[in-house]
Amino acid sequence: MAERFRFTGDVPWDQAARFISAFDVAVAPARFANARSGISPQKVYAYLACERPVVGSDLDGLGDVLVNEGVGLSFPAGEAAVLARAIIQLLTDPPRAKEMGQRGRRLVLVRYTWEQVVTRTLRMFADIAKGHAGGQPPVPPEVYRREYYLRDREGSAEFVESRGHRLCAQHAEALKLADIREGHHVLDVGCGCGELAIHAALRGAKTIGIDYAPAAVELAKEALGTFPPDVQARVRLILASAEEPVLEKVDPESIDRIFLMDVLEHLYPWQIERLYARLFRILKPGGRMICHTWPNRWHTTCVYPLVARVSRLFGIEKSEHVRAAHDEVMHVNEQTPWGVWRDATRAGFRVKIWMAHESSAASNRCVRWLYDAVHRTPPCGFAFGDDIWCVATRKS
């Protein structure tokens, strides 16, 4: 047995990652935790940062994190035989172990770096001191890094390839729905890398793109710089949140089109209520707001887990985790079709809602038709469809 173990003793911190990267599976077999606060071992986040899957005991703050985030396995504390089986399970399934490791690193980068921990702690104390509306502080803008915009969001691949000159299918659909004309005034809230604001300007509109993430505005300005001067002159990019006075400075009934793409799931209900009131004030009578949000909570929490289990019965491997690690951090208020309709209607908009879903890859045309019908057509589509689209207009 002695040949199977290597006890390194103390390792300098700057060499720890090299040792951890030699693991196939990391283990955190803690047996005891504080009855009130649970346990939060720093080494687990070091393992995850090095893309190692973790097998940890089922103590509060350890096992629940590993399982809920899909970055490892949990076992009853003190049960050595179960621990051994869990380790062997990952050692004999390298693709699954690799997926858990990659998910773990993304989780650490968007939530558990020391910078993020300090930022959240300071923000928590500040909110306690001043008393925050709704009791729920917004997601910190520092969470939205360049890596997120260049790799993880909808349209990342097209933006990296073309620097904003080519749109992804979702953005192209939004632009089509907006029906932008020359002379229109367009507002893009949560503009990300600025693709929609720029392409609206290409159609002759004057556009404003706002985002509260510095990384997003930096990338949008870099992309805008690759377009002709006349297009650049029609685009104004602003680093600000919808909570700041920037929207209050826009004249009432002065905006023809508003884009609100993949924003709602990042906002708490009290933020959405305030935002809709401000957008309704500045939208012209007859103007329209194009909204998209993902995922549909009815689908991800009710339908998809059932579909995944049934698929596995037929030998089709389907993960029950539809969200990436960054979604778990950023999506503080995932929507339902009913919720989107209700909130926009309360704000005074006339609302049209419909569902979309990725088409089936089945070779049989009848199977594809049935799949698309179930996922997109009411009433089934409201539960099976994963993308929620909304066009909200202000009555003339």
CATH number of the structural domain spanning residue 31: 3.40.50.2000
Residue 354 falls inside a structural domain: yes
Q: Identify each DSSP E strand in 25-71 by its residue range.
A: 26-28, 54-57
- pLDDT, tens digit (0-9, with 9 covering 90-100), for 40-71: 788 999 999 999 999 999 888 888 888 877 89
Does 279 share its domain with 221?
Answer: yes
Q: pLDDT band at 134, cuts 50/70/90?
A: low
Amino acid found at 172: A
Residue 156 falls inside a structural domain: yes
Residue 53 falls inside a structural domain: yes
* DSSP states along 315-377: T----S--S-HHHHHH-SS-B-HHHHHHHHHHTT-EEEEEEE-PPP--S-HHHHHHHHHHHHS
Residue 128 falls inside a structural domain: no
Q: Collect all residues with Cβ–Cβ distance below 8 Å to 7 and sequence separation of at least 6.
A: none
Does 108 share its domain with 174?
Answer: no
pTM of the model: 0.67
Averaged pLDDT score across all residues of the chain: 86
- pLDDT, tens digit (0-9, with 9 covering 90-100), for 206-225: 999 999 999 999 999 999 99
Residue 126 falls inside a structural domain: no
Which CATH number characterizes residue 203's domain?
Answer: 3.40.50.150
Does 58 share its domain with 202?
Answer: no
* Cα–Cα distance for residue pair 138/212, rounded to 1 Å: 11
Q: Which residue's structure tokens are 């009411």? A: 378
Give the residue numbers spanning the domain of 35.
15-114
Q: Residue 133: pLDDT above 70?
A: no
Residue 138 falls inside a structural domain: no
Which strand (E) or helix (H) includes residue 388? strand 387-393
* DSSP states along 152-165: ISTTHHHHHHHTTS
- The SS3 of residue 148 is helix
Amino acid found at 118: V
CA-wise closest residue to 292 among 261, 334, 323, 314:
261
